[in-house]
Amino acid sequence: MFLEIVSPEATLFSGEVDSVAVPGVNGEFEMLNNHAPIVSILKDGLVKISGNITLEEEVESKFSKTDKGFSLEINSGTIEMKDNKVIVLAD
């Protein structure tokens, strides 16, 4: 699936991933390929992405390396998944 993480300053990530886990207001949830369409509000926590991921050099410092990929700490945001495309608007 295609993931785009956008902050007020810049697009932090844009590319193919295997999964995305986000801190929803009612708890953390994960999306895989062909997940049902969803729109949700995010709270402070980690956005975790896994797959064969390459980060741009200018944003690499914002992410932390994990066993399966990378994580990004956010304060709040929204997420939309539709037609195998995930858009995270993060603060």
DSSP string, 55-71: --TTTGGGEEE-SSEEE
- Using CB atoms within 10 Å of the CB of residue 91, give its burial: 0 to 12 exposed, 13 to 18 middle, 19+ buried: exposed
Domain 2-90 sits in which CATH superfamily? F0F1 ATP synthase delta/epsilon subunit, N-terminal (2.60.15.10)
Where along the chain do its domains lie? 2-90
Residue-by-residue pLDDT tens, the chain, 91 positions = 999 999 999 999 999 999 999 999 999 999 999 999 999 999 999 999 999 999 999 999 999 999 999 999 999 999 999 999 999 999 9
pLDDT score, position 34: 94
pLDDT score, position 73: 97
